[in-house]
């Protein structure tokens, strides 16, 4: 069974303190407890280094890349 994670993050004043690892592990433990063994974190921009690093640590695989472009109108 799998689940999609649509929002995940830590507010800026608490980032880079190791809380992300605790948060990810708690999510994994709770998911496994209810039978979820796969997950998808969608809509992570390719330049979001902290989220991409977290996904990589959890053995995530990039299968799509999202970019935002800006054009003057």
The yes-or-no verdict on residue 32 having pLDDT over 90 is yes
The Cα 52–Cα 20 span in angstroms is 12
**Domain-located, residue 68:** no
**Domain-located, residue 13:** yes
pLDDT band at 31 (very low <50, low <70, confident <90, very high): very high
The yes-or-no verdict on residue 71 having pLDDT over 90 is yes
Count of structural domains, the chain? 1
* Threshold 0.75, pTM exceeds: no
pLDDT band at 61 (very low <50, low <70, confident <90, very high): confident
**Whole-number pLDDT of residue 33:** 97
> Taking a C-beta distance cutoff of 8 angstroms, is the pair 18, 51 a contact?
no
Residue for token pair 């980032």: 15
Mean pLDDT of the chain: 87
In the structure encoding, which two tokens stand for residue 47, read together?
Answer: 């330049």
**Domain-located, residue 43:** yes
Using DSSP's 3-state secondary structure scheme, residue 37 falls into coil
Nearest Cα to Cα of residue 58 among 35, 27, 36, 33:
27
């Amino acid at each position: 069974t799998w689940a999609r994670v649509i929002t995940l993050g830590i507010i800026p004043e608490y980032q880079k303190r190791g809380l992300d690892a605790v948060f990810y592990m708690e999510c994994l433990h709770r998911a496994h407890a209810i039978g979820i063994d796969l997950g998808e974190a969608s809509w992570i921009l390719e330049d979001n280094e902290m989220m991409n690093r977290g996904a990589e640590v959890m053995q995530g695989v990039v299968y799509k890349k999202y970019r935002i472009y800006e054009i003057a109108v």
